[in-house]
Amino acid sequence: MKNLRLKAARASLDLSQQALADAVGVSRQTINAIEKGDYNPTIRLCVSICKVLGRSLDELFWEDD
């Protein structure tokens, strides 16, 4: 499942995939794969992304039923 909320949050801060990747210590390809739904990040990575984007885990990673 694509993570459009992550992509939207990143875009709202005018951050590129590379800038977010650099901020959390992963590759741009990892951020791309998360946004495309091809990779399930660890909870540690999720928390790091949330801190950089100023969002909660629920806002970015909780799937609605």
Owning domain of residue 47: 4-61
Q: What is the pTM of this model?
A: 0.92
- Per-residue pLDDT averaged across 15-42, rounded? 97
Residue with tokens 């993570």: 3
d(CA 4, CA 43): 18
pLDDT digits (tens, 9 = 90+) for 6-28: 999 999 999 999 999 999 999 99
The stretches of 1-65 forming alpha helices (DSSP H) are 4-12, 17-24, 28-36, 43-53, 57-61
CATH of the domain at 17: 1.10.260.40
User: Per the structure, how many domains does the chain have?
Assistant: 1
